[in-house]
Amino acid sequence: MKRTSGARLCATAAIGALSLSLLTACSDEGSKDSTDAKTSASASASTSSSAPAAKAFTAAELEKLLLAQGEVKGYKVDSGDDTLPKAKTQVKTDKPACDPLAWATAGLAPGDTDANASNSVSEDKASTATAQPEDLADAFDIDITFVGLSSYEGDGAAKAMKAVSDGITACAAGYALSADSESTKVTKVAAEKASGTGDESLAFTEDVDMDGAGTATFHSDVVRKGNTVATFYTVNFSAMSEGGDMGDVPAAVITAQVAKLK
């Protein structure tokens, strides 16, 4: 598969957690080895005991708290309805402890709640472009961040954060992931420096096997503000077709989204 056709396939395929399952189809040519994931522990400030007892938001209320077009300069906002899985049952792992990680990368609630909403935020290079891209692959050299919001009763949000933190440790050696009848292997999970936003935050990387042709490294951030948890997962179409590092979650997206949470 040529890079251009591979990029086109990646652009039209389901992504979020599904992008991990579709890496094989999008990477027929050789890929570069992924960069080593950072291993620094992450957390911003608070503990489970500080979680409020506020009533959880509904899915409809969370939809209104998602970033909207025009709220992040240099980025476009899309509903993500065509690319993100609709339910946790569509995303499965071979280790229950790893489920919160897979859900977080799919814009789904990492904890026990039905109140969930998601969308995607992508670089708006067209607004600042001064020249045409050299080829179609260059046109797909953009970062897309999948954002998920979930809300919880009582200390549920703090428990969701702990589930993700525990998953990072328990799944350090990797896990198998299946989504929409496709499967892949996460070979390594590691904590990295978190954004430090909200009441509590953590971040992790996942190295994903590209069918024996190297690995791709994906970055995720998870932030709790009050009883709401925000998840962020970034994919670069061009990098996905080549392997290597997908790039950090844009700080501007995290900051703007967390600022909207009450």
Instruction: Look at the chain and report how many structural domains it folds into.
Output: 1
Least confident window among 24-33, 185-194, 202-211, 238-247: 24-33
Instruction: For the chain, report the end-to-end CA distance as a whole number of angstroms.
Output: 47
| Pair of tokens at residue 203 | 């971040």
The predicted pLDDT at position 53 comes to: 54
Over the stretch 96-135, which tens digit does the pLDDT of each residue have? 999 999 999 999 999 999 999 999 999 987 755 444 555 5
pLDDT reported for residue 204: 98
What is the H or E stretch that residue 19 is in?
A: helix 17-21
Residue range 58-97, pLDDT digits in tens = 999 999 999 999 999 999 999 866 677 888 988 989 999 9
Quick one: pLDDT at residue 16? Answer: 44
What is the reported pTM?
0.79
Question: Does residue 166 contact residue 208 with C-beta atoms inside 8 Å?
Answer: no
Per residue in 128-167, pLDDT (tens digit) is 544 455 554 555 678 899 999 999 999 999 999 999 999 9
Instruction: Look at residue 7 and tell me whether its pLDDT is greater than 60.
Output: no
Tell me, rounded to whole angstroms, the distance of Cα 119 from its chain centroid. 11
8 vs 260, higher pLDDT: 260
pLDDT score, position 139: 57
Q: What is the pLDDT of residue 131?
A: 43
Reference 222, options 107, 144, 123, 143; nearest CA is 107
* Residue 243, domain extent: 3-260
pLDDT band at 247 (very low <50, low <70, confident <90, very high): confident
Question: Would you place residue 25 in the very low, low, confident or very high pLDDT band (cuts 50, 70, 90)?
Answer: very low
* Bigger pLDDT: 139 vs 201: 201
Report the pLDDT value the prediction gives residue 165, as an integer from 0 to 100: 98
Q: Is the pLDDT of residue 4 over 70?
A: no
The pLDDT of residue 183: 84
Asked whether the predicted pLDDT for residue 258 surpasses 70, the reply is yes
The DSSP call for residue 84 is S
CATH number for 204: 3.40.1000.70
Q: How high is the pLDDT of residue 88?
A: 92
Contact by Cβ (8 Å): 157, 63: no
For the cut 70, the answer to whether the pLDDT of residue 24 exceeds it is: no
Residues 6 or more apart in contact with residue 55 via CB below 8 angstroms: 153, 227
Residue 256: enclosing H or E segment and its boundaries?
helix 251-260
Average pLDDT score, the chain: 79
Highest mean pLDDT among 9-13, 133-137, 213-217 belongs to 213-217
